[in-house]
Amino acid sequence: MVFLEKIKDVGKIGTGDVIGTALGAIFWFYLASQIEPSEYGEIQWLIGIASAISYIALFGSQNTIIVFAAKNLKIQSTLYFISIISSVVLSTIVIIVIPSFYEIDIGILLFAYVINALAIGDLLGKKLYSTYSKYVILQKILTICLGISFLHFFGFESIIFALGFSYLFYLKRIIRNFQEMKIDFSLLRSKLGFITNNYILLLSSGLHGQIDKVLVAPLLGFTVLGNFSLGMQFIVVMSIISGIIFKYLLAQDATNVENNRLKILSVICSIIISILGMIFLPTIIEIFFPKFIMISDAIQIMCIHIIPTSIAVIFESKLLGQLNSKYVLAGRLSGLGVMVIGMIILGSVYDIIGIAISLVLSSIVLCVIFAIGVQRLTILEK
């Protein structure tokens, strides 16, 4: 019965993530069918810039909020205040400094990403899984409605602006938390080490997730980035189980609840999904996305990335749940280093195939370091 209850809670998170990911995929796949690969790549490049800068603002990272909310530590509003002020300052700097048509759009999207991360962290930490699902689904519905409308009325250049507005309703959750608890900077003192480590971790993991968008365009051009980004959209869809499991496990590990059967099941599912992707995705791309044929070979390599990632999130949840972020930080930084070096060297030699290989190598390095951290943590607990 206990295991069935866990599956039920995972299902509540999964409902939002599965439907949300499906809706998001529908939008991005539709967009890919309407515009050129170079235009698709340009949009992804701008999203990468906004996302990367948003991580700088998020002193109260999503994982930090989840752990503190799960432990019922009344520190969220203080972290919210710091993160929101930082996001407003950075958004203003982006709008003033970046001399392009997109400056306001990037500033709005940057702020939107920050309030999204803060609100989601609070919902998951408090184990409000049904409410979390409703928020995620609503945001994806707005993405489709606003994104497609803006595309046809104003052109692909307006997509960034539409994405930013799809997140603004998350402010409701932020305001509620400010009403429920006061800002108290004294609470930061005893937890500053954990918060700082998680902030640095967020920067490394965030850059790791966006480095392809930021670097591929200047290295290999928007067309290659557009093809690679479409491939990553497939990987995001196939990695949904790992994402759901991590969101569920982090609050559970923070309260010392074991979930071994669930962890094993998630890894088995990821292996099966990875194999199916390698078999069927090249054909799907050739039939439905003929303009993106460049990615059809590289996608098979990218599917391997799903397996070490599914294992890594289990280890990461265990480490963060015990307030031990040292090995998570080391893994993220190492993975980021492998990704950057691999993209520069392998990308220059093997083009998009080299970028795909770099993606897989970085996830393997990440997984190995996390595993070492969990092993040493287990030894210390004994």
What are the DSSP calls for 3-27, one per residue? HHHHHHHHHHHHHHHHHHHHHHHHH
**Residue 370: how many other CB atoms lie within 10 Å:** 26
Crossing angle, helix 306-321 and helix 260-288, to 10 degrees?
A: 140
Question: In what helix (H) or strand (E) does residue 258 lie, and over which residues does it extend?
Answer: none
| Residue 207 belongs to some domain of the structure | yes
Spans of the chain below 50 pLDDT = 1, 101
Length of the chain: 382
| Residue 343 belongs to some domain of the structure | yes
| Residue 382 belongs to some domain of the structure | no
- What is the pLDDT, as a whole number, of residue 124? 83
- What is the pLDDT, as a whole number, of residue 306? 95
- What is the pLDDT, as a whole number, of residue 289? 94
Which phi and psi (to 5°) does residue 297 adopt? Answer: -80, -40
| Residue 150 belongs to some domain of the structure | yes
User: Residue 119 is part of which domain span?
Assistant: 2-377
CB-CB contact of 289 with 33 (8 Å): yes
- What is the pLDDT, as a whole number, of residue 355? 94
- What is the pLDDT, as a whole number, of residue 8? 67
CB-CB contact of 56 with 91 (8 Å): no
**Residue 73: how many other CB atoms lie within 10 Å:** 14
pLDDT-above-90 percentage for the chain = 39
| Residue 123 belongs to some domain of the structure | yes
Per-residue pLDDT tens over the stretch 321-344 = 776 777 888 888 898 899 989 999
Q: How many domains does the chain have?
A: 1
Crossing angle, helix 240-254 and helix 260-288, to 10 degrees?
A: 160
| Residue 128 belongs to some domain of the structure | yes
- What is the pLDDT, as a whole number, of residue 225? 93
- How far is it, in rounded angstroms, from Cα 111 to Cα 222? 25
| Residue 195 belongs to some domain of the structure | yes
- What is the pLDDT, as a whole number, of residue 101? 45
| Residue 217 belongs to some domain of the structure | yes
